[in-house]
Amino acid sequence: MKVAAIQHDVVWEDRAANFERLAPQIAAAAGAGARLVVLTEMFSTGFSLDVDAVAEPVDGPSTAFLVDQAEQHAVWVCGSLPERPEGEALPSNTLVLAGPAGQVHRYRKIHPFSYAREHERYEAGDQLVTVEVEGLRVSLFVCYDLRFADEFWGLAPATDLYVVVANWPESRRHHWQSLLVARAIENQAYVVGVNRVGEGDGLVYAGDSRIVDPLGEVLAAGARTEALLVAEVDPAQVAAVRERFPFLQDRR
């Protein structure tokens, strides 16, 4: 299966502008043969803590955009967004995965970024999520989750590919690059890490998106500009690596 990472800029807190910018990029990814297309964290607003300005209801405009794009191009599309369920005081930073037949799966970020006080504005999730996408077992994570290896380890036996969407600042770019490769090597699985570029709320984002194979080799990488990264991933390769190097069974 081909997987696409769309490394894109974000117009701050302007959904309509971001939908307009992203639609042709998703079309290009589908045109390149991708079956799974990954956008960034908070793809439609940027990483805003002004929840009164950006929070949307379940199945709100950002989810509707993902669903429409998935159906229009007959692919799977995902990205995170600020979603507030009815009756909840705070929204969650929710990674929504939409499928070509109208499927919608949600992962709510388990680790809000307390360093930036995200935990004061967004409710933490409590459920890990793995979805089968056309025979590929895909586990979903958001940005800061990447620093917590235990969740990745726990899902490893049932995961072929980890998706990590992010707004990871340039000042810690080396951490981002290193941890993506580490998670792939540790768990003998593919990792698709998609980070934004540009500036938002005073922070600079360098991109550095990666598609990494189960041995830690980088199959595709982005730099500081918008880019479409495409690579082939194969669950049979995950199985072969784990059979050749049976490291997972030695965990305690």
**pTM as predicted:** 0.98
pLDDT of residue 252: 77
Give 195's pLDDT tier (boundaries 50, 70, 90).
very high
Q: Write the pLDDT tens digit of every residue in 46-102.
A: 999 999 999 999 999 999 999 999 999 999 999 999 999 999 999 999 999 999 999
Q: How many residues does the chain have?
A: 252
Asked if residue 200 has pLDDT above 80, the reply is yes
Asked if residue 209 has pLDDT above 80, the reply is yes
Q: Write the pLDDT tens digit of every residue in 10-39.
A: 999 999 999 999 999 999 999 999 999 999
Strands (E), the chain: 2-7, 36-38, 56-57, 76-84, 92-98, 104-108, 130-133, 136-142, 161-166, 190-195, 197-200, 203-206, 210-212, 218-221, 227-232
Distance CA 170, CA 148 (A): 20
pLDDT of residue 188: 98
- Active-site annotation, residues: 41, 109, 143
User: Which residues, in sequence order, are CB contacts of 92 under 8 Å at separation 6+?
Assistant: 82, 83, 84, 85, 108, 109, 122, 123, 124, 125
**What are the DSSP calls for 24-41, one per residue?**
HHHHHHHHTT-SEEE--T
Q: What is the mean pLDDT of the chain?
A: 97
CA distances from residue 151 to 88, 129, 139, 157, 243 in whole angstroms, order as listed: 26, 10, 10, 12, 22
